[in-house]
Each structure stands twice: as C-alpha cells, then as structure tokens.
C-alpha cells in the first residue's frame, strides 16, 4: 500500500515537473498520467490505433487559383464542408521561409531542457514553454511538449517567452506570421465567395486587431506508442488554423464520418483546418474537425500551428445571409476573450464567452467548446 502510494506520488510529481522529452529518455516506465483512456476517445474505438493516410480524404487545393477558378473554389467549399480541412499548395510562402520556420522550431527543441525552461510557462498561464496544461488531477496528459506564444496583436507580444536562441527565432516567426495574416484574409474572402456571400462578411466580424497564437509542438518518440496520444481528440477554437507538419513523420488524424483518417504529408503544403469560430459564422456549413495526433516508437515529430482568431471581445455569430427559414440559426453568438487560465471570477458577457481557458477545460474533459454555443 505504502509502495503504491509512493508510486502514485512519484508519477504525479513527474508529470508536473518533467517535460515529455525528459520522461521519454527514461525507457523504464510510462507515468500513469500519460496513459490514454478509452472514454476520452471519439469515433470508432476499434479504429483507434489505425493510421490510414488517404490523401483523397483531405483534398489538395491550389489556393493561387481561388480567384480565377470556380471549380477550385467549389473544391475548397466541399473540402471544408466535409472533413473540414485541406492541404494548401501554391500559397505564396517561399520554401526557404517554410524551411526556416521548421529550423527555428528544431533548434529550439534541441536546446537543453534548462535552456528551454528560461521561457517556461508560469503555472497559471498558457503562454510559454511546457507540457500539457494541467486543469484537473484526473486528466490524461498529452505526449507533447510545446512552446505557446501569442503573436498578434503585435503590441501585446510578451517577448520574455520568445526564444533568443536560435538568434533568428523572433525575426523568422514575425515574417511567417505576417505571411499567414495575408493568407488568412485571402482565404476568409474566398470562403465567403464560395457560399455566394459578400466577400467581407467573415472579415467584418473578424475586427481590425485580430488575435493569432502560435504553438510549436514537439512529440518525442515513445516506447509504448499505442498507450499515449500526442494530442487528445479536440477541435480548434480558432477561425482558421494553419499547420506546418513535420517533413517526414506523420501522426495527425482527423475524424471523418466516425473514422480516423490520416493526414498525409504533402510537400510544401500548409495543412489548413476550420476552427469552431468559423463553423459558428458559417452557421454549421463549414466543419471544425475533431483531430488528434498519434505517436510512434522511433521518430520525434514536430509541427507548428498558427491559430487565427478574431479581435477579442467581438461578437461572433452566424452571418445574416446564412440564417433563413430553411436553415435556422444553429449557434448563439460567442465572444472570444483571452483570460488568465485559473481565473476564478470569469467575466460575464451577454453571450456565451469563448475563452482560451474554457477551451482547455472542456478539452481536458473530452468536450468541445462549441457544444456550449449550440441552440
């Protein structure tokens, strides 16, 4: 009894104080806190460990054609209305910049844990370097270390969390963020046109000082890959998410018609998915997909996600043209805010409040933030 208590205590302490990268080096045991539970899975559990990269399930869209080709626009609409994600090619970001983004991520995660901890997240914060955010003692932890940064608005950046090593980290990230800002705007217009709406209808709700968050993900290999998940099933709270996948190591899956579908690596492509806020704005036509990340026993995997969000505290709701007698409003309005993580006195709004911490709390309980907004 005393022994098992001490094992529990050891596991608990480890999951709080150690990064996954450190745990992965001790090949003798897997802390309990990381072992996945069946009741946290979505979809067909028999399919839970399967990885089936099927490129036809996640369409490749040539986004340079979206202003000139109606068939490409239609292909985009059908992709985001079914699996909710696509692989964007010809996005206009030079290959050399994409490579640099991968490189700064790689160089950062290669630093010693002590060096990385200079940018460590505070216990009650999301921003910074760390592993899974702990909101409950029962929560299963993701097999993932990350660096989380609020990159927009520019005047609210907290540079104490932006690595100075590698030295070009800040410059490269800033350049990449500027490019993604433009693609995000371009795509929001194209998505509106694909529904025969005024091209600014999503952008009008978006506001003038948008929010963007960056998450650099590092997934160490695990000797028991089927017992952990890199990221638990979740949907993003964003409007659009831009993901730079690892160049060689797969792992991302999206839930499509109750089955997990692998998202293959497509050279030079950005993997883009709809987030909850665009599902709400489109009154449910565009789907914010549930997705997760599998781990393997041999190779570490890296990815960089940029989450584009509207200006905080703006009212977000289904756009006028999409609410009709035949297609009634499916969601209440939401207001997106960035609250401190353990804020015990949440601010009240007229509408449902979508906070980053409510997202994490729902996520850790296996629920979706968007469920609270359904009528």
Ligand X SMILES: O=C(O)CCC(=O)C(=O)O
Binding stretches for ligand X (CB under 6 A): 215, 217, 231, 236, 243, 245, 252, 291, 293, 303, 305
| 207: alpha, beta or left? (left if phi > 0; alpha if psi -120 to 50) | left
- Residue of 240, 127, 250 whose CA lies nearest to 184: 240
Within residues 200-239, the interface with Fe ion by CB under 5 A covers 236
Closest separation between CB of residue 358 and ligand X, Å?
Answer: 16
From residue 235 to residue 274, what is the string marking binding to Fe ion with x (rule CB under 5 A)? -x--------------------------------------
Nearer to ligand X, 229 or 319 (CB): 229
Nearer to ligand X, 245 or 277 (CB): 245
252 interacts with, out of Fe ion, ligand X, none, CB within 5 to 8 A per kind: ligand X
Closest separation between CB of residue 6 and ligand X, Å?
Answer: 34
Closest separation between CB of residue 105 and ligand X, Å?
Answer: 11
Closest separation between CB of residue 291 and ligand X, Å?
Answer: 5
| 366: alpha, beta or left? (left if phi > 0; alpha if psi -120 to 50) | left
- Give the residue closest to ligand X by C-beta: 303
Q: Which residue has the tokens 């529904």?
A: 195
Nearer to ligand X, 252 or 278 (CB): 252
Residue 319 dihedral angles phi and psi, to the nearest 5°: -70, 150
293 interacts with, out of Fe ion, ligand X, none, CB within 5 to 8 A per kind: ligand X
Closest separation between CB of residue 123 and ligand X, Å?
Answer: 21
Burial 331-341, CB ≥16 within 10 A → b, else e: bbbbbbbbbeb
Distance separating alpha carbons of residues 323 and 154, to the nearest angstrom = 35
Residue 6 dihedral angles phi and psi, to the nearest 5°: -70, -30
- Give the residue closest to Fe ion by C-beta: 236
Nearer to ligand X, 305 or 352 (CB): 305
Distance separating alpha carbons of residues 318 and 123, to the nearest angstrom = 36
HSE, CB side, 13 Å, CA atoms: give it for residue 224. Answer: 14
Closest separation between CB of residue 150 and Fe ion, Å?
Answer: 17
- Residue of 257, 256, 225, 230 whose CA lies nearest to 243: 230
Nearer to ligand X, 87 or 303 (CB): 303
58 interacts with, out of Fe ion, ligand X, none, CB within 5 to 8 A per kind: none
Judging by beta carbons within 10 Å of its beta carbon (0-12, 13-18, 19+), is residue 297 exposed, middle or buried?
Answer: exposed
**DSSP H or E stretch at residue 260:** strand 259-262
Closest separation between CB of residue 302 and ligand X, Å?
Answer: 8
Nearer to ligand X, 264 or 310 (CB): 264
Nearer to Fe ion, 304 or 319 (CB): 304
Residue 17 neighbours by CB distance under 10 Å: 9
- Residue of 109, 104, 137 whose CA lies nearest to 33: 137
How many of the chain's residues bind Fe ion (CB under 5 A)?
Answer: 1
368 interacts with, out of Fe ion, ligand X, none, CB within 5 to 8 A per kind: none
Nearer to ligand X, 201 or 369 (CB): 369
Contact 15, 33 (CB under 8 A): yes
Closest separation between CB of residue 17 and ligand X, Å?
Answer: 23
- Applying CB under 5 A, which residues contact Fe ion? 236
């Amino acid at each position: 009894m005393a022994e098992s208590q001490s094992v529990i205590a050891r596991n608990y302490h480890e999951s709080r104080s150690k990064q996954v990268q450190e745990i992965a080096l001790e090949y003798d045991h897997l802390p309990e806190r990381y072992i996945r539970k069946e009741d946290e899975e979505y979809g067909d559990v028999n399919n839970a460990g399967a990885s089936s990269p099927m490129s036809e399930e996640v369409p490749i869209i040539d986004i340079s054609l979206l202003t000139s080709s109606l068939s490409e626009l239609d292909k985009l609409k059908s992709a985001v209305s079914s699996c909710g994600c696509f692989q964007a090619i010809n996005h206009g970001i030079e290959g050399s910049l994409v490579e640099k983004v991968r490189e700064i991520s790689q160089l950062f995660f290669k630093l010693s844990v002590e060096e990385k901890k200079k940018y460590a997240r505070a216990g009650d914060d999301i921003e910074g370097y760390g592993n899974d955010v702990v909101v409950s003692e029962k929560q299963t932890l993701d097999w993932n270390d990350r660096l989380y940064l609020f990159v927009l608005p520019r005047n609210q950046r907290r540079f104490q969390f932006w690595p100075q090593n590698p030295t070009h980290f800040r410059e490269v990230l800033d350049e990449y963020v500027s490019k993604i800002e433009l693609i995000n705007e371009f795509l929001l217009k194209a998505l509106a046109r694909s529904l025969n709406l005024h091209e600014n209808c999503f952008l009008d709700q978006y506001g003038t000082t948008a929010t963007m968050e960056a998450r650099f993900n590092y997934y160490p290999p695990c000797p028991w890959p089927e017992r952990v998940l890199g990221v638990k099933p979740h949907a993003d709270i964003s409007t659009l998410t831009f993901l730079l996948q690892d160049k060689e190591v797969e792992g991302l899956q999206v839930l499509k018609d109750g089955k997990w579908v692998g998202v293959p690596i497509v050279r030079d492509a950005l993997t883009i998915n709809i987030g909850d806020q665009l599902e709400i704005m489109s009154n449910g036509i565009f789907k914010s997909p549930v997705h997760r990340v599998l781990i393997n026993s041999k190779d570490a995997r890296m990815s960089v996600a940029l989450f584009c969000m509207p200006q905080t505290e703006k009212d977000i709701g289904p756009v006028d043209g999409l609410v009709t007698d035949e297609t009634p409003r499916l969601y209440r309005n939401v207001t997106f805010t960035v609250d401190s993580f353990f804020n015990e006195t949440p601010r009240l709004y007229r509408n449902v409040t979508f906070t980053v911490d409510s997202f994490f709390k729902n996520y850790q309980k296996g629920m979706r933030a968007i469920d609270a907004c359904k009528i």
